[in-house]
Structure 1
Amino acid sequence: MVLIGVLALQGAFEEHETALRSCSPSISTVQIRTASQIRSLSLDGIVLPGGESTAMGLVGQVTESIWDELKKFINVDKKPAWGTCAGMILLAEKVVGASAVIVGGQAIIGGMDVLVCRNYFGSQISSFELSIPPPPPSSPTSSSPDLYPGVFIRAPAILSVSSDITVLSEVDAVPCRQANTTLEQLDERIARGEDVTMLGVKATDDEDNWRNDSKDGEEEGGAKKKRKVSGSPSETLTLPGATGKGGSRRVVCAARKGNVLCTSFHPELTEDLRWHEYWLREIVGADI
């Protein structure tokens, strides 16, 4: 029997449990809320679900040292981990667009040497579904019926990766207004030679318009209302709330480094189990 822990501080943890158990009768799950559970249970892997990354960070930092235990589990013991949407933010080494109201910025666990932009694709009303490439080893053409139904809800995006990261899926997308402002600041600081690890949001002339589209505190992975976006993964994606300034960027929405997988979309909110099967088979090493 394979035992998978699902972090249950906040977010779509029950949906992940259902999907994981649906992959094979040999898979069992447990909701993880304390550091002692991670120490005492013989977990074969852990999933950090979609939800609200700021809330997860705040709760995690005051919950019986669970943040330290997660860092040890993933980064020291090198146990299998998977972060979806908000979970991807938590596993990143660098985060921009962190909430300005949080002292010290977004609390992260780390493990993936990637630069993530929170809410790159926009606010809750910009949630969408887009056909994207399935997990390896399949590599169908863009017109293949085997493309994966990627669900993006107030989703982050990976802006850059280190040389030891394997990119599994990419899209061309125009950033939302707030993300574009953050990226402008980021580009300026990088041009000055700064090593940016954490960068908060900054109010802009577009802020009032942006606030009409997005309520502060809405879950990154909580809403299930979404729109379908037509086109292939190679086409540029422009959604309501996109600024149009600076043009589109090629961003990563799925990546892997050794024992860690990150996806900016929500496989747990579909009936397609291929990403769950990929993680269990290729990273956890489960016989499914």
Structure 2
Amino acid sequence: MNKRVGVLALQGAFREHRQVLEQLGCDVVEVRKTCDLEGIHGLIIPGGESTTIGKLLNIDGMGDEIKKLATKDLPIFGTCAGMILLSKTIIDSDQYRLNLMDTVVERNAFGRQVASFETDLMVPAIGPNPIRAVFIRAPYLREVAPNVGILADYDGKIVFARQGNLLASAFHPELTPDQRVHQYFLDMIDEYWAH
């Protein structure tokens, strides 16, 4: 299947996601307006400033349209700020969120920008070899409901999780040459469009 994947391009690291998806053979749509969501097979919400992206999503009703697509099981992958926006609960914040994943997220959980780091992460769902994970002012999931699958944790903190058609990572898979996390998301898209 020729995949048409949207990358939310309001703010943040959307270009890097675009490059990985194009290398994997996808048609990529930079989503800036609600109409850009039409005809996509999946959506990536990139890292950036979650409060800024949230405000922009709320302007022309794009957030509501993304929620509708999520209820139809469209695969959505949020990285870093995207993980924050997908969560139902954000600790100490009433900022706009999509309110889709049954998760409680803590922002800047590993410290400020200077506390950014890289590490090898074991993700059994992706394969036996670790992935290189880049954490930049990263959040983590403090709590997840029983219907949320934990794909990876770091230092006892949940940093990668899946709930049905929703995928969330605290790290930035687009910043390393390893394409397995994006491929995992594309496999989710294949699963969804197969039925």
Alignment partner, residue 107 of structure 1: 96
- Number of matched residues? 191
Deviations 1:253-277 (A, max 9, x none): 0000110100000001111101001
Instruction: Report if aligned partners of 1:135, 1:278 keep a CA contact under 8 Å in 2.
Output: no
Residue 46 in structure 1 maps to residue 43 in structure 2? yes
Q: Confirm or deny: 8 A CA contact 2:47 2:80 kept in the other structure.
A: yes
Q: Give me the whole-angstrom Cα distance separating, in 1, the residues matched to 2:99 and 2:150.
A: 17
Q: Which residue of structure 1 lines up, in the alignment, with residue 121 of structure 2? A: 132
- Taking the aligned partners of 1:276 and 1:260, their CA distance within structure 2 comes to 13
Distance 1:159 1:21 in 2: 33
Corresponding residue for 1:28? 27
TM normalised by structure 2 equals: 0.94
User: Which residue identity is paired with 2:138?
Assistant: A
Q: Which runs of 4+ in 1 moved over 2 A?
A: none
Contact 1:45/1:284 (<8 A) preserved? yes
Say whether the 8 Å CA contact 1:134–1:274 is kept in structure 2: no
Are 2:115 and 2:137, in contact at CA under 8 Å, matched by a contact in 1? Answer: yes
- 8 Å contact from structure 1 (residues 94, 115) kept in 2: yes
Query: Are the equivalent residues in 2 in contact too, given 1:97–1:119 (CA < 8 A)?
Result: no
The reply on whether 1:15 has 2:16 as its aligned counterpart is yes
Of the candidates 166, 170, 185, which is equivalent to residue 153 of structure 2? 170
8 Å CA contact retained: 2:126, 2:184: no
The aligned counterpart of 1:264 is 170
TM-score between both structures, scaled by the size of structure 1: 0.64
Q: Equivalents in 1 of 2:133, 2:45: separation in Å? A: 18
Deviation at 1:35, TM superposition (A): 1.2
Select which of 130, 142, 156 maps to 1:147. Answer: 130
Tell me the CA shift for residue 67 of structure 1: 1.1
What is the rounded CA distance, in whole Å, between the counterparts of 1:132 and 1:97 in structure 2? 28
Kept in 1, the 8 Å contact 2:6–2:42? The answer is yes
1:122 counterpart (111, 114, 119): 111
2:69 maps to 1:85 = no
- Whether the aligned pair in 1 keeps the contact of 2:126 and 2:181 (CA below 8 Å) is no
Name stretches of at least 5 consecutive residues in structure 2 with no aligned partner: none
Residue 252, structure 1, aligned to residue 164, structure 2: no
Q: Give the deviation of 1:107 after TM superposition.
A: 0.5
- SS of 1:37's partner is helix
Distance 2:61 2:35 in 1: 9
- Pick one of 58, 65, 68 that aligns with 1:69: 65
Is the strand fraction higher in 1 or 2? 2
Structure 1 residues not aligned, in runs of 5+: 99-104, 141-145, 173-249
Q: Looking at CA atoms only, which structure, 1 or 2, has the larger radius of gyration?
A: 1
